[in-house]
């Protein structure tokens, strides 16, 4: 793993149905992220935030099934270029969200850093809807589908090299809230999926070790951590909370195993919503999980 880290914020909430996650990058920084990482001996450069226009200044767009499409595409194009540039400069990119629509740009950038990308996507949701199946029109619920080349042509055309990752190289972990048509699409896909039922049965260590072993030969490993994968009793400040999630320690174990593998190429942490949080508990948790992914251990 590289000893240089480049932090980049994306204060995006346009892909979600609830405002507030645009403040996520600030909350994670306020929790002491840079100090946490520097205490690990890492050289940290914070590159600030990408510019994202506020919803009050935008039209939702003509399509009720792709809210704020133009701005979401613009921001993700810029994010992809930034992630690629930072990685090519020798740093490990850490992207702070923002809603999970930024997963598209983060993965597009990762795909420019290695021909074969492996993806571990920790999330309560599948994010595998398209404009044909979405019940909301919120693009954060389409990010994983777009990353594997599924979805509306206007969304995919923004990234000429899509798909960024092959379905068999995707591990979706922690899912427990899937829409009806989304569930069917996942069943028929080539994704590797460990639902909460699987985690209850097999435990986090087994699932993460299986994922990391399966992705041992990829050129670039990207981990996308949505804080709503954690039970809202422990992480209340998330954009779309769902009961029955993983525990605080299971989340740290997952990140510790990523660090132990030594293969992390880039990381995105999303959906922290300070409006719904309790004294920045979730922001602090996010900062701690990033530190675990980059090598922090208890002893």
Which tokens sit at 35? 């100090």
- From the candidates 127, 182, 250, 277, which is the catalytic residue? 127
Q: How far apart are CA 179 and CA 265, in angstroms?
A: 31
Annotated catalytic, 226?
yes
- From the candidates 49, 131, 250, 271, which is the catalytic residue? 271
Closest Cα to residue 120, out of 27, 257, 296? 257
Secondary structure letter of residue 171 according to DSSP: E
Annotated catalytic, 125?
yes
Is the Cβ–Cβ distance between 274 and 97 less than 8 Å?
A: no
- From the candidates 67, 140, 152, 222, which is the catalytic residue? 140
Cα dist from 130 to 14, 142, 151, 233, whole Å: 16, 5, 5, 30
- From the candidates 67, 125, 220, 252, which is the catalytic residue? 125
Q: Is the preceding omega at residue 163 within 30 degrees of 0, hence cis?
A: yes
Q: How far apart are CA 192 and CA 214, in angstroms?
A: 10
- From the candidates 13, 123, 179, 277, which is the catalytic residue? 123
Annotated catalytic, 100?
yes
Annotated catalytic, 152?
no
Annotated catalytic, 49?
no
- From the candidates 71, 99, 228, 277, which is the catalytic residue? 228
**Residue 228, phi-psi category: left (phi > 0), alpha (psi -120 to 50), beta (remainder):** alpha
Burial call 179-197: b when 16+ CB within 10 Å, e when fewer: beebeebbeebebbbbbbe
Angle at 52 between CA 292 and CA 22, to 5 degrees: 50
- From the candidates 131, 226, 231, 277, which is the catalytic residue? 226
Annotated catalytic, 228?
yes
User: Which residues participate in catalysis according to the annotation?
Assistant: 100, 123, 125, 127, 140, 226, 228, 271
């Amino acid at each position: 793993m590289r000893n240089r880290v480049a932090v980049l914020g994306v204060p995006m909430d346009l892909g979600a149905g609830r405002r507030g996650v645009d403040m996520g990058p600030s909350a994670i920084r306020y929790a002491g992220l840079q100090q946490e990482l520097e205490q690990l001996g890492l050289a940290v450069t914070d590159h600030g935030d990408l510019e994202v226009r506020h919803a009050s200044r935008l039209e939702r767009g003509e399509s009720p099934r792709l809210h704020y499409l133009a701005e979401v595409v613009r921001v993700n194009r810029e994010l992809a270029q930034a992630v690629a540039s930072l990685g090519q400069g020798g740093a490990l990119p850490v992207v702070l969200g923002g809603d999970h629509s930024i997963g598209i740009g983060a993965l597009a950038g990762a795909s420019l850093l290695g021909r074969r990308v492996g993806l571990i996507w920790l999330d309560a949701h599948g994010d595998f809807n398209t404009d044909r199946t979405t019940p909301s029109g919120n693009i954060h619920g389409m990010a994983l589908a777009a990353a594997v080349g599924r979805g509306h042509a206007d969304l995919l055309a923004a990234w000429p090299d899509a798909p960024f990752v092959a379905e068999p190289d995707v591990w979706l972990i922690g899912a427990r809230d899937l829409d009806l048509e989304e569930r069917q699409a996942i069943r028929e896909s080539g994704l590797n999926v460990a639902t909460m039922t699987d985690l209850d049965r097999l435990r986090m260590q087994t699932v993460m070790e299986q994922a990391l072993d399966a992705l041992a030969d990829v050129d670039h490993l990207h981990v996308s951590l949505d804080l709503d994968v954690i039970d809202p009793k422990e992480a209340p400040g998330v954009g779309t909370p769902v009961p029955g999630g993983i525990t605080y320690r299971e989340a740290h174990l997952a990140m510790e195993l990523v660090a132990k593998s030594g293969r992390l190429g880039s990381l995105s942490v999303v959906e922290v919503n300070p409006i719904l949080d309790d004294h920045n508990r979730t922001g602090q948790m996010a900062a701690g999980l990033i530190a675990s992914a980059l090598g922090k251990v208890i002893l």
